[in-house]
Amino acid sequence: MSNKKEHDYLKLIHHLDIQTNEFLMIGNSLKSDILPVLAIGGHGIHVPFHTTWAHEQISHQIIHENFREVNEMLEILDFL
């Protein structure tokens, strides 16, 4: 997906014919991969990368029941 806004994720979810709570996004950007998905009721797993573009950084901690953060990709299996 080139655009990662709430509307774009909703369009994808509609295309997949699933409910928002059935959607899981795994990504390295909190701002564009995780926050929009959480905002629409989906699930997000953040896999931090050693560098983050300035425009992708956020200044607050995410506290959300559908949010997880892992240090290694293999840890994602614990949530599937």
pLDDT reported for residue 39: 97
36: CB partners within 8 A, 6+ apart: 4, 5, 6, 8, 9
> Could you give the C-alpha distances from 43 to 23, 34, 54, in angstroms and in order?
6, 8, 24
Could you give the CA distance from residue 13 to residue 75 in angstroms, rounded to a whole number?
Answer: 25
- What is the per-residue pLDDT across 3-54, written as a single tens digit (0 to 9) for each? 899 999 999 999 999 999 999 999 989 888 999 999 999 999 999 876 665 6
Q: What are the backbone angles phi and psi of residue 2, rounded to the nearest 5°?
A: -85, -30
